[in-house]
Amino acid sequence: MKTYVVGNWKMNFTVGEASVYLHKIQRKLPNYRDVAVIVAPPMIALQSLSLQVDRHKLKLAGQNGFYRDYGPYTGETSFSQLNGIVDYVIIGAGERRYTFGEDDKVIAKKVSAALRNKITPILCVGETESERAYGETADVLRDQVLSGLRDVSKEDVEKVIIVYEPVWAISSVESSKLASLDEVAEAVKFIKNVLNEAYSAKLEVPVLFGGSVSPSNAGAYLTVPGVNGILMGGSSLILSEFLDIIEIAKRVQR
């Protein structure tokens, strides 16, 4: 399986800045076959970046999308509109769930809409700090994985990428802490078991880790058994850090 490195730019960069930044990444990035590099720029920059991106080196992702294909949904962008522009879409990122109140039902519809429109969903799951403190991590992860994939058939499930993204470890969260390697190993193993049990198969679904990943800890997270890549926010905005992490992913590639 490839190692995935996903950079979520969140609400950063103007269209012009995003274009310059993509240009710099592409100039410096070698063409790695076994590391899949994906960047998720702001929605407003996607169309122009889709004309600029060198898809042999990296792919574009949306940060969100709406589950209906068209209609009176002011301010939304559908997966059918994203089709042809991006190859991936991040769904259920911590901020979508906890700042914008997206629930598992909405997230499940988005996962289905992405697949229907031939876009790979990158489904984020993760517990909050208090859920972890109350010992609810396993239940939360099981619920988020199973309800997010509620309408996904066995045939399609290996087209999905999952990210274990503990909310308390995301750098935008005020009290963010680093997840320990054991915590990541346990959660990733649990997610894979939940998937295998639900679909009664030994699935090849990539599970990534996200939460304050930086060049100083990326190597350690990437060597955690079961981790197939990383998703980062903050570090993806700094060219040298983003490239360093891709290089680390290449080195530790199994």
The piece of 18-26, 37-45, 72-80, 230-238 that touches ligand PGA (CB under 6 A) is 230-238
The piece of 45-53, 113-121, 178-186, 209-217 that touches ligand PGA (CB under 6 A) is 209-217
Candidates 52, 181, 62, 67; CA nearest to 113 is 67
Q: Can residue 210 be called a binding residue for ligand PGA (CB under 6 A)? A: yes
Close Cβ partners of 227 (under 8 Å, ≥ 6 residues apart): 184, 185, 188, 207, 208, 209, 221
9 exposure class (CB count in 10 Å sphere: 0-12, 13-18, 19+): buried
Rounded CA Rg of the chain: 17
Taking CB under 6 A as the criterion, the residue among 89, 194, 231, 243 binding ligand PGA is 231
Taking CB under 6 A as the criterion, the residue among 63, 112, 144, 212 binding ligand PGA is 212
The piece of 58-66, 154-162, 165-173, 240-248 that touches ligand PGA (CB under 6 A) is 165-173
Q: Can residue 232 be called a binding residue for ligand PGA (CB under 6 A)? A: yes
Instruction: Count CB neighbours of 98 within 10 A.
Output: 14
Taking CB under 6 A as the criterion, the residue among 111, 170, 222, 224 binding ligand PGA is 170
Q: Would you state the structure tokens that stand for residue 218, as one six-digit string?
A: 């990326």
Site string for ligand PGA, 36-75 (x = CB under 6 A): ----------------------------------------
Q: Can residue 94 be called a binding residue for ligand PGA (CB under 6 A)? A: yes
Q: Can residue 183 be called a binding residue for ligand PGA (CB under 6 A)? A: no
Residues in the interface with ligand PGA (CB under 6 A) total: 15
Q: How far is CA 138 from CA 91, 170, 201, in A?
A: 20, 19, 20
Taking CB under 6 A as the criterion, the residue among 19, 50, 77, 171 binding ligand PGA is 171
| Percent of the chain as helix, strand, coil, to the nearest 5 | 45, 15, 40
Q: Can residue 184 be called a binding residue for ligand PGA (CB under 6 A)? A: no
The piece of 48-56, 74-82, 187-195, 206-214 that touches ligand PGA (CB under 6 A) is 206-214
8 or 228, CB closer to ligand PGA? 8
137 or 235, CB closer to ligand PGA? 235
The piece of 58-66, 151-159, 208-216, 245-253 that touches ligand PGA (CB under 6 A) is 208-216
Cα–Cα distance measured from residue 248 to residue 206, given in angstroms and rounded to the nearest whole number: 18
Q: Would you state the structure tokens that stand for residue 14, as one six-digit string?
A: 């103007």
Footprint on residues 4-23 left by ligand PGA (CB under 6 A): 8
DSSP codes joined into one string, 178-193: PPPHHHHHHHHHHHHH
Which residue is it, tokens 């060597």? 223
CA torsion sign for 188, 194, 197, 202 is negative
Q: Would you state the structure tokens that stand for residue 195, as one six-digit string?
A: 């998937």
Which residue is it, tokens 């859920």? 131
Footprint of ligand PGA (CB under 6 A): 8, 93-94, 165, 170-171, 210-213, 231-235
